[in-house]
Amino acid sequence: MKTFGFKIDPLTGEEYYEVYLRGRQLLNDPHLNKGSAFTHEERLSLELDGLLRSGVSTMEAQLHRTLESFRRKPDDMERYIYLIGLQDRSEPLFYRLLMENLEEMVPIVYTPTVGQACLQMSRIQRRFRGLYITPDNIGNIDQIFHNVSLPQVNLIVVTDGERILGLGDLGSDGMGIPVGKVSLYVAAGGVHPGVCLPISLDVGTNNPRLLEDPLYLGYRHPRLRGAEYDAIVEKFVLGVKRNFPDALLQWEDFAKHTAFNNLARYRERILSFNDDIQGTGATAASALMTAMRIKKSRFQDERYVVVGMGQAGTGICMNIRALLKEEGLSDEEIRRRIFAVDMQGLLLEDDPKLEGPQKPLAQRRAWVEGWKLDDPGRIGLADVVRNARPTVLIGVTAQPGLFSEAILAETARHTERPVVMALSNPTHKCECSPEAVWRATDGKGLVATGSPFPPMAWGGRTLQASQCNNMYIFPGVGLGALVGHASRVTDEMFLAGSRAISALVTPEQEAMGLLLPEMRDIRKVSAAVAVAVGKEARDAGLGRLLDDPQLEEVVHKAQWVPRYAPYRPGRLV
């Protein structure tokens, strides 16, 4: 049942919501509830008279009240619960508060606090957001989608909960991630919340803690695998195509073995992408572009060690490969510059554990003969750093302290300005702190991390690590693909977005060591990414034939600003 629709008055041109709810139902709808900001006219026409105190507030007054309440909370988990409660009461107010306090609140609604929230989701759940698709209800997928109360669905973020951040299999407790990603689409990208839908594909869990927890609210069975799992995903995708044919589908926090399969199987069939693979890789590529500019270097002049060959690590390597190809290097020349390390150590061409996307990254056995090794049976990270002499060190392992003082010092020996990207989330999983890098490099290291860290005074100047957060790329890619009417999302669109992000880093920011723009400029960043994606879609024959000024106008007009729209009563349904 739709609760409201977007309307334009043909006489005055006024934009308004046609509202189909009344009274208490209206006050309980987070998309529509204005609380004390309902006007006297709306109170009379929408059966709210007497249900509210007499004073009519402005949104600014409500913001003051909610910010006070937020800052009184004793810890980040309580702040998360408060913000999710606010989102469940009034989305316009929640997003206005979030947008005006991004640097303070993004670490609460997303990494790192959202990870802790997901670990406790069945215990802190107040209201259910989005949809939960299970093996028991997948046969009713069309009815489930028909029950969605949004006026339309243009954006879906879906997870099966198997690889939530660096925390593993959390089943349907992982729903906090799609909810958080939708929040970033709205706050950072400007996508209207009334067209965004988070979904959990709850196919069970292999986490014994959850299966034995009487409070766990998910599908209490071992996780489906193989043909049964594939059939559910197929039915889900077909249901999306039937019911929301113009929607963008973002795959989020699937395990590696399913993430690559789903991306390959569906990227040509439905407008979709995987943020963990493509988004992480593109954000890291943007940071590296800025680092090359600071170092006055080319990608081919650097040597890269990437540790952790899951989705993120593989995606980063794929982007580095693409940038090296642009500089004219052959596949073999590229292979000699990227050293991929996973649990078994350095990836080698004769390793039977190699998976498809990893094969182009594996080193030739002959190239490492003669290396001095700590253990002749395995080439570990210390061996790689000592023998490959990297200038760029990237970690996506969720192993805290992996980049030890010795590893950092060895890396610093090979270049005046090493680039160190410790990208694991949440904060306690980070491979090293920015401070450790700066101490090992005498303040010359260029640092990016997955979670935020405070700046540090060093040698009379301020050093700042960039938070290499996917929110720099995915909201703009999604917005650009939607307003550009792209028929599919390509790797070239992500690279176009990477260039747009890096171009926004100012010389003053570069002097502080920043590799990405500051978080407060995220809407500007998302708009630039969206325009770049729209141009790439157009030029590749995959999107609308709008010239550059038209495309920029469409993108900026599409970015929703949180406010209370005027309401008019519609026919009760």
Q: How far apart are CA 422 and CA 270, in angstroms?
A: 33
In the block, tokens 């839908």 appear at: 197
Write the single-letter amino acid at 216. Answer: Y
Q: How far apart are CA 546 and CA 8, in angstroms?
A: 24
Burial of 544 (0-12, 13-18, 19+ CB in 10 A): middle
Which two tokens mark 41?
A: 């006219």
Known catalytic residue at 266? no
The full DSSP string for 141-201 is: HHHHHHT--SS---EEEEE-SSS-TTS---GGGGGHHHHHHHHHIIIII---GGGEEEEEE
Which two tokens mark 262?
A: 């789903």
Which among 110, 229, 304, 564 is annotated as catalytic? 110
Q: How far apart are CA 219 and CA 123, in angstroms?
A: 16
Q: How far apart are CA 113 and CA 259, in angstroms?
A: 24
Write the single-letter amino acid at 263. Answer: L
Which among 34, 95, 181, 266 is annotated as catalytic? 181
Q: How far apart are CA 287 and CA 377, in angstroms?
A: 35
CB 219 within 8 A of CB 138: no
CB 275 within 8 A of CB 251: yes
Q: How far apart are CA 254 and CA 273, in angstroms?
A: 12
The 8-class DSSP code of residue 431 comes to S
CB 458 within 8 A of CB 438: yes
Burial of 353 (0-12, 13-18, 19+ CB in 10 A): exposed
Scanning 422-490, the segments in alpha helix (DSSP H) are: 434-441, 474-483
Phi, psi of 193 (to 5 degrees): -65, -20
Q: How far apart are CA 393 and CA 407, in angstroms?
A: 10
For the chain, what is the radius of gyration of the CA atoms? 24
How many Cβ atoms from other residues are within 10 Å of residue 144's Cβ?
Answer: 17
Q: How far apart are CA 32 and CA 358, in angstroms?
A: 48
Q: How far apart are CA 360 and CA 415, in angstroms?
A: 26
Known catalytic residue at 181? yes
CB 516 within 8 A of CB 290: yes
Active site residues: 110, 181
